[in-house]
Amino acid sequence: MRIDILTLFPKMFDGFLNESIIKRAINKNLVKINIIDFREFSTLKHQQVDDTPYGGGAGMVLMCEPVVKAIESVKTDDSLVILTTPQGIPFKQNVAMNLKNYKHLIIVCGHYEGYDERIRNFVDMEISIGDFVLTGGEIPAMAITDAVTRLIDGVINTDSYIKDSFTDNLLDYPTYTKPALFRGYKVPDVLLNGNHKLIEEYRKNEQVKRTSERRPDLMGDKDEN
């Protein structure tokens, strides 16, 4: 998979691309991630990419030309262009599962007061990572990239994500490791007896219990995914 991220702040991605699972996936050639500064596509003095909004109002608005030119510089017939915006569809695990099937993702990071509305004519999907507003789209772009990359075949063991939280609309079951007793808190006996059938039943029950207690809304959405 190839992921191109269009941003005003390329250096924000330095640590993200050079640590942990993302770095290993890149080194194994399982994903190629490019960071593109759309200031490079500005034709104005000082590489200006924003201007005041027509009709007045607070803040600056990202201009059409540099953003669209940046998109077109990397877009192919296999591309899916994503706009990060609070107005987009909620980013959920099923969305990540769908995105991993594309050969090429282009993620556009917003900033300032927002986008010129006409930019939306050049994208395929708008995604929000939550009902809150950030200073820019870089963190959502990282979140989307991370969630999708870990699902690519070979990045992590399939068993590591097949029962993730939100898979089948359930939160993940609780996990434990050594020691079996820590300051009075004991690992459940069922996990220590080696009976894998009972362990599987316990984990499934815990998923349902935890979801009903913490996120009952997920159980109501079961038919949506």
Q: Is 2 a catalytic residue?
A: no
Catalytic residue among 164, 172, 203, 210: 164
Both tokens of 96, joined, read: 């990540």
Is residue 105 within 8 Å of 99, Cβ to Cβ? yes
206 catalytically annotated: no
DSSP classification of residue 13:
G
**Residues belonging to the chain:** 225
Angstrom distance (rounded) from CA 16 to CA 13: 5
Question: Considering just the CA atoms, what is the radius of gyration of the chain in Å?
Answer: 21
164 is catalytic: yes
Q: Which of 66, 140, 150, 206 is catalytic?
A: 150
Judge whether 113 counts as a catalytic residue.
yes
Contact 154, 30 (CB under 8 A): yes
- How far, in Å, CA of 4 to CA of 79, rounded? 10
Q: Choose the catalytic residue: 2, 10, 65, 113.
A: 113
117-149 as b/e, with b when 16 or more CB fall inside 10 Å? eebeebbeebbbbeeeeeebbbebbbbbbebbb
Q: Which of 86, 172, 203, 215 is catalytic?
A: 86
Residues annotated as part of the active site: 86, 113, 150, 164
